[in-house]
Amino acid sequence: MKKRVKKAVIPAAGFGTRFLPATKAIPKEMLPIVDIPTIQYIIEEAVAAGIEEICLVTNSYKQSIENHFDRSFELEEKLKASGDLEHLRMCEDITDMVNIVSVRQKNPKGLGHAILCAKDFIGDEPFAVLLGDDIVVNKKKGAIHQLMDVYDKTGKSVVGVQTVALENVNKYGIIDPADMVNEKLMKVATFIEKPAIDQAPSQLAILGRYVLTPEIFEKLETQPAGKGHEIQLTDAIDRLAQDEPVYAYEFEGNRYDVGDRKGFLQAQVEFALNRDDTRQAMEEIIENLGYVKDPEFKKEKEEPRKVSE
């Protein structure tokens, strides 16, 4: 009998070097989009899909992630004493959102190794994987929920994909589609981790959402190091696809690559514009700045950028 997907793994052991110096002391997963930590958006997506238990794979300096989802007695007592019930309920809701445990990835051996660290937590159940660098917004049904629906129909592993620009295929795991089941769902022939642009079999990239069967652990345990001398999840999935069908689903939703500075800034602006309590402030900021591109501007200039009249 096919088991329901109830557990999720969120790898959060990376050092976040692209956001130094901020991430020297603050985990990249705790960098806020407006006023909500990035990882909270990821966990909310999982909870909305029906996930009941989550395993965070962290390292020795990521305690603040665990603390964010734990009780804060001193803060809660202060909020009670001041009668700030709105913020008290907010803190309680975060704590009560879902059952969260954490395991340590003691050596930074790659994403595949991080998933392997959660093997005891998962056991012999299918599970979801959500990467914290990708926030996907879909008000009707989140990306991981869409993949869980595919698993419910197929009983097989499925990865979430979207089309990326050709010049960016070397940044992602890329799939080679085999048989199209429908316009969004396909069986996959092979998976390639960060191929050269001229060797990519498609522009369909795996974008941070997976539902995997427990058989993936057998592959991860014997997976040799690949790109970057790390154990790559994409390589293990490719080996799994040689033994049983693995699907890709082109999920619907607006994706923000918050692991990239441009994507992070885009998320800040668009999330603020889509919130009732911050929309007016962001609109005023944009209007008052009135920036236009100045091709003659150089970093060494001390004068401000030109603005429109």
What integer pLDDT is reported at residue 59 of this predicted model? 85
In the chain, the amino acid numbered 5 is: V
Cα 57 from Cα 12, distance rounded (Å): 5
What integer pLDDT is reported at residue 11 of this predicted model? 94
Looking at residue 197, the DSSP 8-state letter turns out to be: G
Task: Copy the structure tokens of residue 303.
Answer: 């004068």
What integer pLDDT is reported at residue 222 of this predicted model? 92
Number of neighbouring beta carbons within 10 Å of residue 224: 7
Half-sphere exposure of 171 (CA within 13 A, CB side): 12
What b/e readout covers 178-193, taking b as 16+ CB neighbours within 10 angstroms?
eeeeeeebbbbeebbb
Question: Which residue in this structure is represented by tokens 């001041």?
Answer: 82
Question: Which residue in this structure is represented by tokens 């926030």?
Answer: 135
What integer pLDDT is reported at residue 309 of this predicted model? 36
Local structure of 101: helix, strand or coil: strand
What integer pLDDT is reported at residue 297 of this predicted model? 53
211 within 8 A of 251, measured Cβ to Cβ:
no
What integer pLDDT is reported at residue 296 of this predicted model? 63
Looking at residue 170, the DSSP 8-state letter turns out to be: G
Cα 174 from Cα 194, distance rounded (Å): 7
What integer pLDDT is reported at residue 292 of this predicted model? 64
Task: Copy the structure tokens of residue 17.
Answer: 């070097």
Spans of the chain, pLDDT less than 50: 299-309
Judge if pTM exceeds 0.85.
Answer: yes
What integer pLDDT is reported at residue 302 of this predicted model? 43
